[in-house]
Structures are given as structure tokens and as C-alpha cells.
């Protein structure tokens, strides 16, 4: 009997170990040459961020920041399809339904990580090859350099699932030229390839198959300065001719985007779209009509306020909004309709913009006292 027990203990120990190595393998943190390299390694889940990954990356960035032998930080994804398609929304939904602490811990961890990227003292290079959405935007867009490729697909599709473009979206979106950021946030419009650069989200554009060589050259730099890193990225960027002649996809619509999305309220934006009546405006109207009315109102205000806030203030505001969404109806309904049942027909509550009161919107932005996000 004792031997059987011992054998069981060995098996349990082994299971525990394999579980640990599995979760450790979801993100690889390696020191290579002069660089700290973060590899998001959940290819089956399109490298979506979960809390254990966030909790490993954050302290590592802080350690490398202090390390005199680390001169830059590189972040990339595996699998060839995605850099990072977002956060682990399903886990959040499950947690929110039963009031689990994960609904606080996940957002606290994620926003602290976004802030660590935004305040990083070492040059931070994100290789955003493939799908880059939501949480993936949060761990790339606030850094010094973002390298897009012909495979990059950028979007902040949160209004479709009863959320809002968080991870510092309230900071970077209103700072894009004209009203592009408002348009991207409210419609969830996807940008591909070179358009990600032209919109001002990426800083460089390099062929996908050249990324391993670029990474190798970055790692090989001897105690590089930010300028040296920029020079290397520029040299790759200049050599890339893919889609060089192509016009920015939103070019012909920019005038409309800037006027239609400059309204002060969602109702006004909808009215302007209806009055405009062009095929482009009608298409946007159709898209907006599918989104959560509550999310649309929260998002518009988030961006308008975020335009004049620091990244830290924005993340604090977004944490308040995240907790309001976790207590509401639309997030769970959106995730059900889009990710779980996939029937694509969410029943929003309230169902119309007019029914989302200013008082309710105000309440979502209220400070949380001692529960506010501490950065």
C-alpha cells in the first residue's frame, strides 16, 4: 500500500510539474545578447493574454529596466497567425458571473503592465506580426517602437462585446490624426498591413519573413542607444517595398470621418451619419447599430476625456469602467453572442442609445475610493 501511495505521490508531483512548465511556457522570457526577449506562446489561443502571463511579464520588464546589461526589450508572438489577439475574455466572463476576484485582478494586472510598457526606460520594440487586438495593442502601442508587417491586422473591437477599447485606448486613440481613433474605437474597424503604419499605430513596416533577421540584428547590437535601434529599424523599413504604392485605405473617407465623428454625443454621430446618407456613412451606421449602446456611450466619453489625460490617469479611468462593465449586462451578453454561441445577435440592455442615461454613464466614471487602480 505504501508503495502504491508513493507512486501516486510521484504521479501527482509529475502532474504538478508538467502543469507548471506548461503555464511557464505560455510566455517565454529570455535574455539574448543585449536584449530581453518576451515571446507570447499560446498560438492555439492566438497568444491571448491571461493573468499568469501578465504576472510573469510585468516583473520581468521591471527587472530588465534596472539591469545595466539589458539595453532593449523585444516582444513578439509565436505561431505565425497572431502577435496577440487580446485578453482571455472567456476566463473573465466565467469569473464575473460568480463574482470571482479575477475580475479585479486581471484588469489591475493588465493595466499595470500597460503602464510598465508606457513608462519603460529601456527602448521597447514590439513586433506586431499578425492579429493585434485589444490586450495585444496594450502591450505594444505604448512602447517606443511598433513594427507592423503585411500580416498585421489591428482592431479594437470591444464595443461589439459590451466592453470599451481599454488597455490605454483612451490615451492613444484620441491622439491619432483627425478623428481616426474615434472611428476605430466606435466601429471596431480593422486596419491591415501598411495601413497600421499610415494610421500612426505602428512606427515601422517590415516584411514578415524579415523579422527573424531583424530580431537577430537587434540582439547583436553592442550596448545600443535608442538612436542606434531606431537606425536599424529604419534601415529595414526603407528596404521594404510591399504595398509601397498602395493608398491608405481610409484616405478617401478621412474628410467624412473627421466631420462625422467629431460630434459631442453618440446620438449626434448617428444623426450626422443618417443625414450624410453616403454609402460609407450608411455602412458605419449599420455597424454602430450592432454595437452595445452602453459601450458606445462609455467609449465616446472615455476618448473625449482621455485626450487630455496622462496614460496613468487614463488607466485609472479605464479600471473604473472595467468594473462597471463587469457588474453590467452587456459584456456577458456580448461574449455569449460573439464568442460562445456565435449567433452574432446580442440582446443589449438598454437596447437603444436614448435609453442609456447620462446619470448611468456618469456613475461608471465615478472614483472607486480605496478600490481605485494604484499604479
Q: What angle do CA 129, 131, 135 make, to 5 degrees?
A: 105
| DSSP letter, residue 124 | E
Residues in the chain: 375
Number of DSSP helices (H) and strands (E) in the chain, helices first: 17, 10
Half-sphere exposure of 66 (CA within 13 A, CB side): 4
Grid cell, residue 15, equals 502532474
CA atoms of 107 and 110, how far apart (whole Å): 5
Q: CA dihedral defined by 60, 62, 68, 73, rounded to 10 degrees?
A: 60
Question: DSSP string covering 268-310, please?
Answer: HHHHHHHHH--HHHHHHHHHHHHS-HHHHHHHHHHHHHHTTS-
H helix or E strand, kind and range, residue 247: none
| CA 103 to chain centroid | 17
* 154, β-bridge pairs: 132, 191
Contacts of 349 by beta carbon, 8 Å cutoff, 6+ apart? 329, 330, 333
Label residue 287 exposed, middle or buried (CB < 10 Å: 0-12, 13-18, 19+). middle
CA atoms of 27 and 120, how far apart (whole Å): 19
| DSSP letter, residue 340 | I
Contacts of 133 by beta carbon, 8 Å cutoff, 6+ apart? 84, 85, 86, 153, 154, 155, 156, 157
Q: Are strands 191-192 and 153-155 parallel, antiparallel or unpaired?
A: antiparallel
Active site residues: 87, 135, 158, 166
Amino acid at each position: 500500500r505504501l508503495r502504491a501511495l508513493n507512486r501516486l505521490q510521484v504521479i501527482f508531483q509529475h502532474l504538478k510539474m508538467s502543469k507548471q512548465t506548461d503555464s511557464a511556457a505560455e510566455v517565454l522570457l529570455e535574455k539574448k545578447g543585449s536584449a530581453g526577449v518576451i515571446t507570447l506562446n499560446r498560438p492555439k489561443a492566438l497568444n491571448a493574454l491571461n493573468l499568469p502571463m501578465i504576472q510573469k511579464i510585468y516583473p520581468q520588464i521591471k527587472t530588465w529596466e534596472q539591469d545595466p546589461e539589458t539595453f532593449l526589450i523585444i516582444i513578439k508572438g509565436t505561431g505565425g497567425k497572431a502577435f496577440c489577439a487580446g485578453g482571455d475574455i472567456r476566463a473573465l466572463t466565467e469569473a464575473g458571473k460568480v463574482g470571482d476576484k479575477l475580475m479585479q485582478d486581471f484588469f489591475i494586472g493588465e493595466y499595470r503592465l500597460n503602464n510598465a510598457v508606457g513608462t519603460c526606460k529601456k527602448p521597447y520594440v514590439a513586433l506586431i506580426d499578425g492579429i493585434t487586438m485589444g490586450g495585444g495593442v496594450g502591450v505594444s502601442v505604448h512602447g517606443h517602437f511598433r513594427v507592423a508587417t503585411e500580416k498585421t491586422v489591428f482592431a479594437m473591437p470591444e464595443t461589439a462585446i459590451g466592453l470599451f477599447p481599454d488597455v490605454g485606448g483612451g490615451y492613444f486613440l484620441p491622439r491619432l490624426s483627425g478623428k481616426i481613433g474615434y472611428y476605430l474605437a466606435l466601429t471596431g474597424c480593422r486596419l491591415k498591413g501598411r495601413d497600421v503604419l499610415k494610421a500612426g499605430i505602428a512606427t515601422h513596416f517590415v516584411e514578415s519573413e524579415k523579422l527573424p533577421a531583424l530580431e537577430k540584428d537587434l540582439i547583436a547590437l553592442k550596448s545600443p542607444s535608442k538612436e542606434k535601434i531606431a537606425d536599424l529599424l529604419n534601415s529595414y523599413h526603407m528596404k521594404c517595398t510591399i504595398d509601397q504604392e498602395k493608398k491608405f485605405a481610409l484616405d478617401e473617407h478621412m474628410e467624412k470621418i473627421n466631420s462625422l465623428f467629431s460630434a459631442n454625443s453618440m446620438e449626434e454621430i448617428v444623426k450626422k451619419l443618417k443625414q450624410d446618407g453616403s454609402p460609407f456613412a450608411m455602412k458605419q451606421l449599420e455597424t454602430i447599430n450592432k454595437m452595445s449602446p452602453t459601450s458606445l456611450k462609455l467609449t465616446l466619453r472615455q476618448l473625449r476625456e482621455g485626450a487630455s489625460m496622462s496614460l496613468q490617469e487614463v488607466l485609472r479611468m479605464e479600471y473604473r469602467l472595467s468594473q462597471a462593465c463587469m457588474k453590467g449586462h452587456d459584456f456577458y451578453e456580448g461574449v455569449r453572442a460573439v464568442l460562445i454561441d456565435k449567433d452574432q445577435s446580442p440582446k443589449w440592455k438598454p437596447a437603444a442609445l436614448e435609453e442609456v442615461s447620462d446619470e448611468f454613464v456618469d456613475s461608471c466614471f465615478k472614483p472607486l475610493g480605496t478600490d481605485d487602480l494604484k499604479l
